[in-house]
Amino acid sequence: MDSITPEGVREQGERPRRVGIMGGTFDPIHTGHLLAAEAAREGAGLDEVWLLPASVPPHKQGAATDGEHRWRMTVAAAEGNDFLRGCDLELRKGGVSYTIDTVLLLRERFPDTQFSFIIGGDMVAYLPNWHRIDEIVEQIRFVGLQRPGYPNAAEGLPDPLRRALTMVPMPLVDISSTDIRERRRQGRSIRYLVPDAVYRYIEGNGLYEPES
Ligand SMILES: Nc1ncnc2c1ncn2[C@@H]1O[C@H](COP(=O)(O)OP(=O)(O)OP(=O)(O)O)[C@@H](O)[C@H]1O
Ligand SMILES: O=C(O)c1ccc[n+]([C@@H]2O[C@H](COP(=O)([O-])O)[C@@H](O)[C@H]2O)c1
């Protein structure tokens, strides 16, 4: 039975902190990522979202920009938002960033935290192909960002994956890191596609410029 304090406030005990992990290559981190983090936080009732840049992403071809630059852009993107923070666990570890390894480490380091992994709607259908996905599903939940006007990708998934996934709505934001890199190569503007602090970092460090 819950106790009633002298002030009449019911004490229900603390619930575990809920943290969403938003993993990505973040080359560079952009406004679409931040809107996704915020939609997941609100839609899934998360207390915080941790932005986790991968060291070597498992399913991507080609080398990503140096991890230190991607980390600094991630920190810059999180600036000024108390619900957002960077997590450098995969960059510190190095090598290919399989989510199962990260999840096991996080569970060990933060046993009282409830973790969810946030993924874009385009990723949901590929979840069954993730390395040791059966073990990941035993450890954490997923939050998928539903694209408006698109069928719910979760419905095609087998159980228990389907049960482990919560879909939340997010406005369609047609921004990708690939497009941002391409714009820089062509000398076109990327202003407002990335947060101002990230824009200044990219300009200040001459990132994604055409090879001279
Ligand atoms: N515009 C967007 N809206 C919603 N989710 C996004 C968007 N862009 C990326 N994501 C999601 O963010 C996560 C990390 O994405 P990633 O860092 O690979 O960015 P990207 O823009 O897709 O990169 P690239 O163009 O280099 O493939 C993935 O789960 C991806 O689905
Ligand atoms: O572990 C896996 O097999 C796996 C396969 C594809 C993607 N992921 C993770 O999903 C996140 C988004 O990946 P990406 O390639 O869109 O940057 C990132 O944290 C990856 O490490 C993980």
For residue range 40-85, list pLDDT tens digits in order.
Answer: 999 999 999 999 999 999 988 888 999 999 999 999 999 999 999 9
Give how many domains the chain has, as a whole number: 1
Q: Measured from the CB, is residue 78 less than 6 Å from ligand 1?
A: no
**CB 49 within 8 Å of CB 42:** no
Residue 211 lies in a domain: no
**CB 209 within 8 Å of CB 183:** no
Q: Is the pLDDT confidence value at 136 over 50?
A: yes
**Which sign does the torsion angle of CA 72, 142, 83, 114 carry?**
negative
Residue 197 lies in a domain: yes
Quote the ligand 2 centre to 96 CA distance (angstroms).
10
Residue 99 lies in a domain: yes
Q: What's the rounded Cα separation, in Å, for the pair 38 and 66?
A: 26
Question: For tokens 């960002």, what's the residue?
Answer: 145
Which is it for strands 17-24 and 10-11: parallel, antiparallel or unpaired?
unpaired
Q: Measured from the CB, is residue 144 less than 6 Å from ligand 1?
A: no
> Could you write out the DSSP letters of every residue in 173-196?
----HHHHHHHHHTT---BTTB-H
Q: Measured from the CB, is residue 25 less than 6 Å from ligand 1?
A: yes
The pTM (predicted TM-score) of the whole model is 0.93
Residue 5 lies in a domain: no
- Provide the 3-class DSSP secondary structure of residue 117: strand
Residue 149 lies in a domain: yes
The contacts of residue 169 (CB under 8 Å, 6+ apart) are: 39, 43, 145, 146, 148
**CB 77 within 8 Å of CB 69:** no
Residue 8 lies in a domain: no
Which domain range does residue 171 map to? 15-205
Q: pLDDT value at position 13?
A: 62
Extract the tokens encoding 115: 């973790």
Q: pLDDT value at position 29?
A: 98
For the CA of 129, the closest atom of ligand 2 is 3
Residue 210 lies in a domain: no
Domain holding 101: CATH number? 3.40.50.620
Q: Measured from the CB, is residue 173 less than 6 Å from ligand 1?
A: yes
Quote the ligand 2 centre to 165 CA distance (angstroms).
16
Residue 6 lies in a domain: no
